[in-house]
Amino acid sequence: MADDKNKVGYGRPPVHTRFTPGNSGNPDGSRKKSKDMNARLKKAAEEKVEVQEGGRKRKVKKIDLAMTQMMNKAAQGQPTFVKMALKEFQSAEASEPSVKPEELSDSDLEVIAHVIHRIRQQEANHDCHFHEGVPGDPPF
Tell me whether residue 77 is exposed, middle or buried, using C-beta atoms within 10 angstroms of its C-beta: 0 to 12, 13 to 18, 19 or more.
exposed
Mean pLDDT of 93-118: 79
Q: Which tens digit of pLDDT belongs to each residue from 54-99?
A: 889 999 999 999 999 999 998 998 888 888 988 888 888 888 776 5
> How many angstroms separate the CA atoms of 125 and 59, rounded?
51
- 128: pLDDT strictly greater than 70: no
Answer yes or no: is pLDDT of 13 > 80.
yes
pTM of the model: 0.44
Closest CA to 51 of 73, 70, 68: 68
